[in-house]
Amino acid sequence: MITPQALVKAGLYPNEQSAIKEAMRVLWQERPQLRIDWAIYQYQTDDISLAKAATIASVSFDRMKEILVGRGIQPRLGPETIAEARQEMEAIEQALATER
State how far the Cα of 4 lies from the Cα of 97, in Å rounded to an integer.
Answer: 50
pLDDT reading at 40 higher than 80: yes
pLDDT reading at 22 higher than 90: yes
Res. 84 pLDDT band, cuts 50 70 90: low
Q: What pLDDT sits at residue 82?
A: 82
Res. 90 pLDDT band, cuts 50 70 90: confident
Quick one: CA dihedral 31, 35, 38, 40, positive or negative?
negative
Q: What pLDDT sits at residue 91?
A: 67
Quick one: CA dihedral 58, 59, 65, 68, positive or negative?
negative
Compute the residue count for the chain. 100
pLDDT reading at 85 higher than 90: no
